[in-house]
Amino acid sequence: MKGSIVYTDLGLLDYQAAWDYQVSLFDERVNRKLINRSLPAEEWIYPDNRLLFVEHPHVFTLGKSGDQHNLLINDDFLRSIKATYYHIDRGGDITYHGPGQIVGYPIFDLEQFGMHIKQYVHALEESIILTLEHYGLHSARLEGATGVWLDADSPKARKICAIGVKASRHITMHGFAFNVNTDLNYFKYINPCGFQDKGVTSLQAELGSPQDMDKVKEILRGNLVRLFS
């Protein structure tokens, strides 16, 4: 059905495996759109939109136009901390993914939702802002930077969710990384999202105790579905 969203929690999954799965879903939907355009509108088929949640083992990813110097460690040190590194095809600079972080990969056809890419990124940010409100935390956007921040307009600005996406023919992939119980020490090895003067945080750090990942996923998923319905 047009505009339907199918949710899958992939659990803890290697970054390359998740990337390959995203690409397969993305390519399938792009190809379907090309086929649709050769048919009368009444014969068009609309593949469902897929919302993937996943946690990754320790990994750093650099966006297509990012600066590799924002990775502050060499290959030997990377191996010593049991992390991997990928230069990938999303927007944005460098970020970290690891256990305790909800990584969201929406494979969405924005035409089905009547959205352009800026509205889409805004909706992703809004889903995180609403989720943080549930936990009594006020967050906001920071002008000139995607993602969600606490104390955005102060010297204490710290990012709790990074966003980097790719879109072609209005089909999206990649997405967001929301720090819940994330080990923030790994951010010391990068200039997160290219910033050298801003911090990072997590739900656990802000609330003072580890949070129930399943509960956070349920709240976040509900907010996403409402924003895209």
Q: Which residues are designated catalytic? A: 193
- Residue 19, Cα to own-chain centre: how many angstroms? 12
With CA atoms as reference, report the closest residue to 17 among 65, 57, 64. Answer: 57
Rounded CA-CA distance 102/107 in Å is 16
185 φ/ψ angles, rounded to the nearest 5 degrees: -60, -30
85 φ/ψ angles, rounded to the nearest 5 degrees: -140, 135
Rounded CA-CA distance 95/189 in Å is 10
Rounded CA-CA distance 108/229 in Å is 12
With CA atoms as reference, report the closest residue to 60 among 69, 51, 50, 48. Answer: 69
Q: Degrees (nearest 5) of the Cα angle 2, 17, 82?
A: 140
